[in-house]
């Protein structure tokens, strides 16, 4: 059906597509259009495309995009609407590509998945080397969102585990998988990504269940070993941070702001604190409303020092340097990456329970944005506000004082289901649910473990992230949803 030349060309283009997913948005976009152009050159792909137009699956995968186009009819901000349409174009292009090349892809499934895993692993090692060389945090090195890359790492781990079982049986390959798992886990800990923690544990658990039912003792033990050590380390870190920094709080109960168990704002003498601090540091504080004042007060409490000039005088020079760099707890410099992230999450959660500000804190800020998003949805629940008016609605809501913490920043809900509900109402929300859960049902019916893992990872991530609102996010979702759907769903 296809010559060797065509085969090599398609292999190269799909390889560039997967490389572009991580390395280059330009390559990612350009490759899509090249692949679509070739569809109408080859007779077999052209026939497959016209066949797809008659299939239910194609319209399930593309209906959300077409409804975004319709949503322009009742939107006011056309510039934002067209920008959103361009970003979400993969919701249309990827189903076209994978429907048209389904016959060729069917014979190259292993190549496609393993190559993606290799691309992810290679970029992981590259970014780690650059971070070490430049002595910078991993997040500052990445060319894409750490959330997206964490999901890619966890999915790649599943790919390698699956093919180790399905295709490779030699003992030395198990040692290789253990090494890969160790490198993946270590990288995620240094990345300090909440998504990386749960997704890696979740994939390990699903693989454990899969190998149990497959009666593969060797790989069941391997999955369990990885799950145990990764989970044990994470639980150990959670317990350590909780007991050290928040010993008097329950998980849902707080009394007063504290640092390491010491009250933060009791018996304060703001004037003497400011006077003493300005004598010790060039980073002067003008009033108790300055953010640096609150950093200083929290730091004093973390060391159990009094909230007055005597407490400031008891600070060491390294303490002063830490406070000047906006470090609010004297233990933070000694924490590893995981402990720092866990401390941030705990502190944000307790600040939220107490009712403190949310600015700059991703976890608690999300909670308030979800509340605001649901408020907007309730007012426009049938058809939504339109494809382009979601940010306008948040601006209007911020002017009422509900989102005062944004301070003129334009943010979305960071929850994909709420975002679509705001834009396109209950109809759009149902289309998104259809797009995400129909492929999952197909995967479960066909017992396709990699498809199940991918679908669940993306569905869960959409609960706290706008996955489809960035080019890389929507491309990652549509590439593998379309890839698996046309290899699996048509069998059901």
Per-residue pLDDT of the chain in tens (492 residues, 90 and over written 9): 667 888 899 999 999 999 999 999 999 999 999 999 999 998 899 999 999 999 999 999 999 999 999 999 999 999 999 999 999 999 999 999 999 999 999 888 999 999 999 999 999 999 999 999 998 888 889 989 899 999 999 999 999 999 888 766 666 677 788 888 899 999 998 898 889 999 999 999 999 999 998 888 888 888 888 899 999 999 999 999 999 988 888 877 777 888 998 888 888 888 999 999 999 988 999 888 888 998 999 999 999 999 899 998 999 999 999 999 989 999 999 998 889 989 988 888 888 787 765 555 566 777 778 888 888 899 889 999 999 888 888 877 777 666 555 555 556 778 899 999 999 999 999 999 999 999 999 999 999 999 999 999 999 999 988 899 999 999 999 999 999 999 888 765
Placement of tokens 């964490």 in the chain: 150
pLDDT of residue 172: 66
pLDDT of residue 404: 57
Residue 242 phi, psi dihedral angles, 5° rounding: -65, -45
113 vs 453: CA distance, rounded Å: 13
271 vs 292: CA distance, rounded Å: 14
pLDDT of residue 362: 67
Residue 262 phi, psi dihedral angles, 5° rounding: -95, 135
Placement of tokens 């658990």 in the chain: 205
The CB density around residue 173, as the number of other CB atoms within 10 Å, is 15
326 vs 340: CA distance, rounded Å: 14
Structure tokens at 199: 């997704």
358 vs 415: CA distance, rounded Å: 17
99 within 8 A of 486, measured Cβ to Cβ:
yes
385 within 8 A of 69, measured Cβ to Cβ:
no
207 vs 224: CA distance, rounded Å: 9
pLDDT of residue 352: 78
pLDDT of residue 402: 61
Report helix angle 56-70 to 78-87, nearest 10: 160
Give CA 21 to chain center in angstroms: 15
pLDDT of residue 389: 87
pLDDT of residue 349: 83
103 vs 295: CA distance, rounded Å: 61
pLDDT of residue 36: 95
pLDDT of residue 367: 78
pLDDT of residue 221: 87
Give CA 27 to chain center in angstroms: 22
61 vs 438: CA distance, rounded Å: 9
159 vs 304: CA distance, rounded Å: 50
pLDDT of residue 64: 96
363 within 8 A of 345, measured Cβ to Cβ:
yes
Share in percent of the chain as helix, strand, coil (round to 5): 75, 0, 25
């Amino acid at each position: 059906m296809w010559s060797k030349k065509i085969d090599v060309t398609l292999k190269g283009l799909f390889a560039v597509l997967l490389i572009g997913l991580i390395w280059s948005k330009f390559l990612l976009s350009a490759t899509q259009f090249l692949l679509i152009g070739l569809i109408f050159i080859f007779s077999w792909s052209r026939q497959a495309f016209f066949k797809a137009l008659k299939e239910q699956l194609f319209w399930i995968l593309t209906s959300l995009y077409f409804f975004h186009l319709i949503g322009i009819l009742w939107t006011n901000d056309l510039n934002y609407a067209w920008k959103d349409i361009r970003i979400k174009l993969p919701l249309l292009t990827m189903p076209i590509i994978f429907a048209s090349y389904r016959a060729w892809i069917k014979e190259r499934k292993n190549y496609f998945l393993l190559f993606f895993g290799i691309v992810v692993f290679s970029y992981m090692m590259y970014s780690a080397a650059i971070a070490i060389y430049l002595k910078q945090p991993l997040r500052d090195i990445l060319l894409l969102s750490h959330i997206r890359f964490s999901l890619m790492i966890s999915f790649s781990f599943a790919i390698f585990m699956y093919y180790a079982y399905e295709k490779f049986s030699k003992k030395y390959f198990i040692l290789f998988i253990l090494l890969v798992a160790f490198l993946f886990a270590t990288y995620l800990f240094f990345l300090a990504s909440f998504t990386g923690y749960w997704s890696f544990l979740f994939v390990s658990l699903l693989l454990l269940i899969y190998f149990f039912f497959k009666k593969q003792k060797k790989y069941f033990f391997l999955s369990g070993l990885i799950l145990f050590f990764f989970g044990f380390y994470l639980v150990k870190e959670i317990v350590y941070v909780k007991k050290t920094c928040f010993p008097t709080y329950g998980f849902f109960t707080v009394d007063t702001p504290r640092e390491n168990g010491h009250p933060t704002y009791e018996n304060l003498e703001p004037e003497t604190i400011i006077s003493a601090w300005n004598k010790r540091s060039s980073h002067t504080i003008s009033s108790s409303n300055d953010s640096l004042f609150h950093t200083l007060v929290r730091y004093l409490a973390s060391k159990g020092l009094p909230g007055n000039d005597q407490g400031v005088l008891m600070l060491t020079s390294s303490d002063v340097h830490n406070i000047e760099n906006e470090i609010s707890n004297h233990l933070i410099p000694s924490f590893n990456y995981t402990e720092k992230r866990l401390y941030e999450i705990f502190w944000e959660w307790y600040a939220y329970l107490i009712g403190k500000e949310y600015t700059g804190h991703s976890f608690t800020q999300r909670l308030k944005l979800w509340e605001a998003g649901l408020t907007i949805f309730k007012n426009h629940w049938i058809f939504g506000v339109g494809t382009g008016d979601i940010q306008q609605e948040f601006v209007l809501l911020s002017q009422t004082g509900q989102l005062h913490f944004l301070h003129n920043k334009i943010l979305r809900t960071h929850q994909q289901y709420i975002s679509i509900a705001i834009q396109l109402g209950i109809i759009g929300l149902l289309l998104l649910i259809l797009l995400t859960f129909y492929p999952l049902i197909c995967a479960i019916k066909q017992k396709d473990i990699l498809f199940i893992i991918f679908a669940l990872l993306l569905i869960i991530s959409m609960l706290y992230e706008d996955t489809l609102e960035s080019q890389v996010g929507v491309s990652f979702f549509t590439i593998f949803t379309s890839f698996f759907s046309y290899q699996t769903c048509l069998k059901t």
